[in-house]
Structure 1
Amino acid sequence: MPGYPPDSVITVLPYSHRREADSAVIGDVDRQVFLSIPPEGLDVLEWFAEGCTPAEASRRYEAKHGETADLDDFIDAMVAEGFITVDGATGDEAARTVTATAAAGTATGASGAAAPAGDPAPGLRWKSHMEWISQKTARRIFSTPVLVLAGLVIAAGVLTAVLNPGIIPGATVLLFPEHFALLTWATMAIMIVGIYIHEVAHLVAARAAGVPARIGIGSRLYILVAETDMSGIWLASKKERYVAFLSGPIVDGVFGSIAIILLKLMETGALSVPQEIQWLTAAALWTYFGRLLWQCFFFMHTDFYYVITTAIGTRNLIKDTEKWMLNGLRRLWRSPKREDLSDLSPREMKSVRWYSAVYLLGRGVTIASLFAITLPVLIGYLSQAFLFATGQDSRINSFDFATIVLVAVLLDGGGLFVSTRNLLRRRRARRAEQALHGERLAAAQTAARAGAVGS
């Protein structure tokens, strides 16, 4: 801790914020970085933005909160995260600092966003996908009447399923008795389009809240997933966050309900279609069931996980739980090193404790299934494909079985590849972020020492 001179010049870089009862969120859209800080911290940041020195901010803090503030740690944190500069970083140097900050935020893939409060580094701004959709249009798409209509459709689908339980097909519906390869690829196409619409729903809901968002490919453990980065939604109201997180499942629920109703009409003869279309509708319904079931995996970053964290008022439940469990292991190993959880409230610590059981059970089962099911099946498919390709005896003797192999390799193999790639990228990102934080703190300490000598 450098011990900043009381008359240090603090420069606050552009940011946006949102206050809550016991915390505040600050963020920078250009770097896609956001932080949760105490409300008192936001007070100090606002005073710095008004031109207060540390001494003046300390006096204001004492007058408002009735206690003395030690601002050095707070200044350290804000410097390290790129929200402020101290003393000497002015003019061209400040511009270089902001540019480097924006570049690092882009390179490291730091999560989080805020409503833009300036454009410090042209060309480095984190751009949203589908920017042609205006916020006004997005709000109409997710207006109350539209959400009510979606709710009615889902209710109709659920009621149809409850009154006609036999209408819901079993998983064997995916083993088409005829035209296996054609219907399998058609099901895959429907699934891909459905996933895309699911993610677009998240993007549009985020746009309705004034938050930029991007659609990409990622992984949860070793499972390949599509994902929408809308981290800046934490700067929106709680209602807007609920809509953004639930928008994808709502879309899946609507299309799944329509499929249920169509199957009922086909069964009664009110809708006459070829048998293949009925099989395909039933298969499509299973893809929607699968996505809704996936969202219930609360031990990973799924849509319902974010709904839960919004409801209980935590923002990084998984990471906090991992830190808490790591501290427990270190106590067993008698290691003095500890992860800092001092900023968590008693309510948040209680959430971390009960969530740890969900986390361990869910991840344990998922990782076990990787070694017990996914890898053996993938290796088996690949070995059969090799035998078939080399002209040896193989179970793959038709386009139908080749289709199964290709689908398995694309989904399971693709998930393993993306997971490994993301793991390596995160490690490089952490190293780059730690180096950048160190450089910022070193510069701040140098400025503080120079200010102390000058005074």
Structure 2
Amino acid sequence: MSLQVEGGTLRFHSLSFLPEGGEVVVGRTDVDSYGVFPDDGAALLQELVAGRATEDAAQWYSKTYGEDVDMAEFVETLRELDFLRVDDVARVGPVRWQRLGRAMFSPPAWCCYALLVAVAVVLLVLDPRLLPSRQHIFFSPYLLVIEVTLFCGQLPLSMWHEMFHVLAGRRLGLPCRTRVGRRFYLLVFETAIDGLVVVPRRKRYLPMLAGMLADLLGMSVLTIVAYLTREPDGTISLVGHVCLALVLTSVLRVVWQFYFFMRTDIYYLVTTVLGCVDLHGTSSAMIGNGVKRLLGRRDRLIDPENWHPRDRQVAKWYAPLHVAGYAVMLAVLVFAIVPIGWQFLTTAMHTLLSGDARPARLADAAAMLVINVSQLAFAAFLAVRERRGRGTLSSQEKNFKERA
């Protein structure tokens, strides 16, 4: 692809520069393309962005830093990062929902959120029966009814969680996208806000924690509805029981966020506070190197020099937690989920194959099979797709994968 150069001057898209940890993160937030430059490389780039011709910039670099620069290779890197304009139109436009994002996190909105949570807390004090309890899950004698209701109820709550991430990111003018992802054998919704890498650190925390704020607000609303729909004698109604069951599952989703080895919201918060770039990837590579050494495959070791220094430092204590976390998840899968799932599946298959089952029981068994098998099948599909695509990820994509 040829570049349009006027008098040796390159034309650039709008770029963001963020000095951090002795390096400079440079990127285009409109297309989520980012790179890490050393200080001298970032200074050279800024000279080019300011309008200095390439030959003049090379001479300036040599005079300033006492060494020559391969300008052709440097320009090619900028082209690969899509920093250079090759037409007369700069592909920069306003981010959708930015005004809504600002309104959702404005001072009046925060006052409303605080009032909502305060009302829910008061109602919990007035009626302790509204406190989360596992008994709230069993609002029906039919397990299928419970599973379908919780699934259908948690789906919009999960999207509400991700919507707060999106709005918190777009409030800063950053493009965001939500997708279905996988954490080991679990399906999750996840929001990618890659542009946070060029945002000052203090402004990253709200987009990362906005989902948990949404969970808190959702639980508050459900608690208030459960209180307002009580029966005349003060007992909790069926609607109230469903709301409280959704509250309990929302509490579990908040607890899940503290399993930071699964790259949850808390994981990105912790890595941001610690100044890490790709702690999970570095930890995985470090563990992989240990396994390869045990197997005598030292020729396939990953060079630690490829890891960010801060990631390498923190991964020394994170790696054991990484292994322990996945060991626990695997144990839960083998000793709890698989046996329970097998019992459900065999019971359902027995019901379907028996000739004297009632239509209602047949429908119950079929629905259970579809719901449970489809989730596992989709998780397996995502795992295969990730494995195939892993080899095509560039080093920059690995270093700047989603941070919310």
Q: Which of residues 275, 283, 287 is equivalent to 1:313? A: 275
AA paired with 1:42? Answer: A
Q: Which of residues 260, 263, 274 is equivalent to 1:298? A: 260
Instruction: Specify the alignment match of 1:19 in structure 2.
Output: 18
Q: Which of residues 378, 382, 386 is equivalent to 1:422? A: 382
Q: Unmatched 5+ residue regions in structure 2?
A: 1-7, 398-404
Alpha-carbon spacing, 1:197–1:185, altered in 2? closer, same or farther (3 Å) = same
Worse-superposed segment, 399-408 or 234-243? 399-408
Distance 1:183 1:47 in 2: 62
Q: Unmatched 5+ residue regions in structure 1?
A: 1-8, 96-116, 438-455
Contact kept, 8 Å, 2:260 with 2:267, in 1: the verdict is yes
Contact kept, 8 Å, 2:351 with 2:365, in 1: the verdict is no
Q: CA deviation at 1:190?
A: 1.9
Percent identity between the two aligned chains: 23
1:295-350 CA-partner distances (Å, limit 9, x unpaired): 11100121111111221121321112112223333444361444344365654433
Alpha-carbon spacing, 1:297–1:393, altered in 2? closer, same or farther (3 Å) = farther
Q: CA deviation at 1:27?
A: 2.7
Instruction: Specify the alignment match of 2:351 in structure 1.
Output: 388
Alpha-carbon spacing, 1:180–1:381, altered in 2? closer, same or farther (3 Å) = closer
1:106-139 CA-partner distances (Å, limit 9, x unpaired): xxxxxxxxxxx9339xxxx9x98xx3x3x12210
Contact kept, 8 Å, 1:171 with 1:286, in 2: the verdict is yes
Instruction: Specify the alignment match of 2:342 in structure 1.
Output: 379
1:354 aligns with 2:354: no
Alpha-carbon spacing, 1:413–1:218, altered in 2? closer, same or farther (3 Å) = farther
Distance 1:61 1:409 in 2: 66
Alpha-carbon spacing, 1:41–1:321, altered in 2? closer, same or farther (3 Å) = farther
Q: Which of residues 239, 243, 247 is equivalent to 1:277? A: 239
Alpha-carbon spacing, 1:177–1:336, altered in 2? closer, same or farther (3 Å) = closer
1:343-385 CA-partner distances (Å, limit 9, x unpaired): 6565443322221122111111112222222233333323322
AA paired with 2:385? Answer: R
Alpha-carbon spacing, 1:76–1:372, altered in 2? closer, same or farther (3 Å) = farther
Distance 1:57 1:162 in 2: 70
Contact kept, 8 Å, 2:277 with 2:308, in 1: the verdict is no
Contact kept, 8 Å, 1:47 with 1:57, in 2: the verdict is no
Contact kept, 8 Å, 1:215 with 1:226, in 2: the verdict is yes
Q: CA deviation at 1:276?
A: 1.0
TM-score of the two chains, using structure 1 as the length reference:
0.70
1:413 aligns with 2:373: yes
1:21-69 CA-partner distances (Å, limit 9, x unpaired): 4232223456533233434332233234444548844753662xx5647
Q: CA deviation at 1:214?
A: 1.9
TM-score of the two chains, using structure 2 as the length reference:
0.77
Please give the secondary structure, in 1, of the residue aligned with 2:383.
Answer: helix
Q: How do 1:71-90 and structure 2 match up within 5 A?
A: 75=74, 78=77, 81-83=80-82
Q: CA deviation at 1:221?
A: 1.1
Distance 1:226 1:304 in 2: 15
1:74-106 CA-partner distances (Å, limit 9, x unpaired): 849936953478xxxx9xxx68xxxxxxxxxxx
Distance 2:286 2:56 in 1: 36
Instruction: Specify the alignment match of 1:119 in structure 2.
Output: 91
Alpha-carbon spacing, 1:383–1:81, altered in 2? closer, same or farther (3 Å) = farther
Distance 1:174 1:147 in 2: 31
Alpha-carbon spacing, 1:271–1:308, altered in 2? closer, same or farther (3 Å) = farther
Distance 1:274 1:166 in 2: 9
Please give the secondary structure, in 2, of the residue aligned with 1:25.
Answer: strand
More relative contact order, 1 or 2 (CA 8 Å, 6+ apart): 1
Q: CA deviation at 1:423?
A: 3.0
Alpha-carbon spacing, 1:38–1:156, altered in 2? closer, same or farther (3 Å) = farther
Instruction: Specify the alignment match of 1:192 in structure 2.
Output: 155
Distance 1:424 1:234 in 2: 28
Alpha-carbon spacing, 1:430–1:264, altered in 2? closer, same or farther (3 Å) = closer
Paired residues, what number? 384
1:231 aligns with 2:231: no
Please give the secondary structure, in 1, of the residue aligned with 2:191.
Answer: strand
Q: CA deviation at 1:210?
A: 0.6
